[in-house]
Structure 1
Amino acid sequence: MRSVALSAGTVEYDDSGGGGPVLVFLTGIFVNTTLWRHVVADLAPDHRCVVLEVPLGGHRVPMDPDADLSSPGLARLVAEFLDVLDLRDVTLIGCDWGGAQLVAAHGLGRRLARLVLLPQESFENFPPGLPGRSLYLSSKVPGATFLALQTLRIRGLRRSPINFGLMSKRPIPHDILDGWLRPSLTSPPIRRDLLKYLRTTRAGEYVEAAARLTGFDRPALVLWAPESTMMRPANGARLAAALPQGRLIEVHDSYTLMPEDRPGPVAAHVREFVATT
């Protein structure tokens, strides 16, 4: 892991290096860079793969106490990260957290050449599904999120519908999930960062963002999971229609965390998309 200082604090990231097309992957709630390990392993030989650990509970370095960690604030953090690393002609790829949409929608995508959206928050679907709503509601009660997180210490409960059961169709390896959850389970400043996001992101954020996506005039690929009830099957086609150069590809046999469930097809579709646009 590498690190870089931004105006909101220090963030960590992985960088495969190399001189190929630049792919920047974003993480989501309770997830770190290892979500993309299989996809990056496939694409890194002929692409530069940069995975940003967005401070959403799976990150290990707390942000500054006064950092703006609302969804728009995090979108600005992503844009600043691209600036500081001087990444150009970027293909921005997001899953679970809808930040890639927000970068495009809020005019922060001057460094982007393309956009790839995997199953994620969109339109009216925030907070998304049973796990998202449960976490969002717990953030409104002091101490409730900490108590809810304690159930995740028990490996047998992690696959319940209120936790990761609706996130991935296949069980996530224990060592990977342990790494995702350890920061929020053990660090009060990391939980503080997560709660900032949950408490400051508005319910209508993605409805407004979708209306602004018409201004993103570069190629966009929506890889959606029609079996993911959490991220609403119909929203993939809606996102593709909202983007002037959007195209939709449905990836079956997957839930929200498509890089875990179907990393091979994800890598193949991203490679073809970058090569032909």
Structure 2
Amino acid sequence: MNEIELSAGTIEYEDTGGDGPVLVFLHGLLMDSSLWAETIADLAGEYRCVAPTLPLGAHRKAMRPDAELSMPALARLAEEFLARLDLREVTLVGVDTGGALVQLLMAGDAGRVRRVVLASCDAFDNFPPGLTGKTLFLTGRLPPVLFGAFLQQMRLKALRRLPISFGWLTKRGDAAVVRWLQPLLKEPGIRRDTVRVLRAAAAEPGILVDAAAHLPEFDRPALVVWASEDRVMPPEHGRRLAGLLPKAQLSEVDDSYTLLPLDRPAELGRLIGEFTRTT
């Protein structure tokens, strides 16, 4: 695991190195870079794969107390990360909240981004997304101590598999969920950061509707990959995103919920590799 000091604090990241085209992977809320481990394993021979752990609740190093953690600020942090590592002509990949951050970057300049992959993610008015997102935004109103106490229930697998938790996000990834929850359950600074992220996001419910208005201006290649069985991110949103983007391709993947990197990592890697290679 590598580390880099950014304006908000210390960010950990995975980097396979190499001289191949650069793929950068952004994860979702209450997740870390390990979400992408299996997909990266399939792509690392041909591409340089870089996956930061953003301060979205599963990070292990708390951010500075004065760091802004709104969605636009997190998108700027991702952009700062690309700049500090001097990553250029990047294929930027996002799933879940990571896909929302990709859209915010697409609505701006995104000068270091050559192409994007949006995989089953928050879009349009689906923010917060589904029962999981709505539950998290509600609990984010609690003080960090009570927020942590509420999440202690997630130690029980039966509760983690509920639709209001991770049950509709992944079919096969419960072991990863257990790992992601550890920093949040153990570290007061991580709980503080997570509550700040949730409260800031709740204050901007229309942010992705506004971003969508700018997506037709994004004139670079885009791949939209959606889980056909997704219960949190409507498959219709994937089709709408592909329809808005002038140079978009659309692929739907079966036998998966939202978190394609956990449920269908090899298929997702194949699609990303082919898209990057041919564009």
Bin for the TM-score computed over the shorter chain: over 0.9
Size of the alignment, in residue pairs? 274
Deviation string, structure 1 residues 47-92 (Cα, Å, up to 9, x no partner): 0000011110010011111111100000000000000000010000
Correspondence for 1:240 among 216, 239, 242: 242
Partners of 1:221 and 1:247 within 8 A in 2? yes
CA distance in 1, matches of 2:3, 2:127: 30
Q: Provide the residue aligned with 2:18 in structure 1.
A: 18
CA distance in 1, matches of 2:102, 2:63: 20
Corresponding position: 1:126 with 2:110:
no
| Cα deviation, residue 173, structure 1 | 4.7
1:206-245 to 2 correspondence within 5 Å? 206-245=208-247
* Counterpart code for 2:230: S
* Counterpart code for 2:234: R
Corresponding position: 1:264 with 2:228:
no
CA RMSD of aligned residues (A): 1.1
Q: Provide the residue aligned with 2:95 in structure 1.
A: 95
Q: Provide the residue aligned with 2:64 in structure 1.
A: 64
CA distance in 1, matches of 2:124, 2:71: 14
| Cα deviation, residue 144, structure 1 | 4.5
Q: Provide the residue aligned with 1:184 in structure 2.
A: 184
Provide the TM-score with structure 1 as the length reference. 0.96
| Cα deviation, residue 156, structure 1 | 3.1
1:78-89 to 2 correspondence within 5 Å? 78-89=78-89
Correspondence for 2:207 among 205, 208, 213: 205
Unpaired runs of 5+ residues, structure 2, are none
Q: Provide the residue aligned with 1:157 in structure 2.
A: 159
Q: What SS does the corresponding residue of 1:64 show, helix, strand or coil?
A: coil
Q: What SS does the corresponding residue of 1:147 show, helix, strand or coil?
A: helix
| Cα deviation, residue 132, structure 1 | 0.6
Partners of 1:151 and 1:157 within 8 A in 2? yes
Q: Provide the residue aligned with 1:117 in structure 2.
A: 118
Deviation string, structure 1 residues 212-256 (Cα, Å, up to 9, x no partner): 112211000000112111011210011111212112111111111
Deviation string, structure 1 residues 84-116 (Cα, Å, up to 9, x no partner): 000010000001111111111122x10001000
CA distance in 2, matches of 1:47, 1:111: 17
Q: Provide the residue aligned with 1:39 in structure 2.
A: 39
Deviation string, structure 1 residues 104-141 (Cα, Å, up to 9, x no partner): 1122x100010000011110000000011001011123
Deviation string, structure 1 residues 143-190 (Cα, Å, up to 9, x no partner): 5422321111123321111111100022x253x333211011111111
* Counterpart code for 1:47: Y
Unpaired runs of 5+ residues, structure 1, are none
Identity among equivalent pairs (%): 50
Q: Provide the residue aligned with 2:140 in structure 1.
A: 139
Provide the TM-score with structure 2 as the length reference. 0.95
CA distance in 1, matches of 2:191, 2:67: 14
CA distance in 1, matches of 2:239, 2:150: 34
Corresponding position: 1:196 with 2:196:
yes
After alignment, is 139-148 or 47-56 more displaced? 139-148
Q: What SS does the corresponding residue of 1:234 show, helix, strand or coil?
A: helix
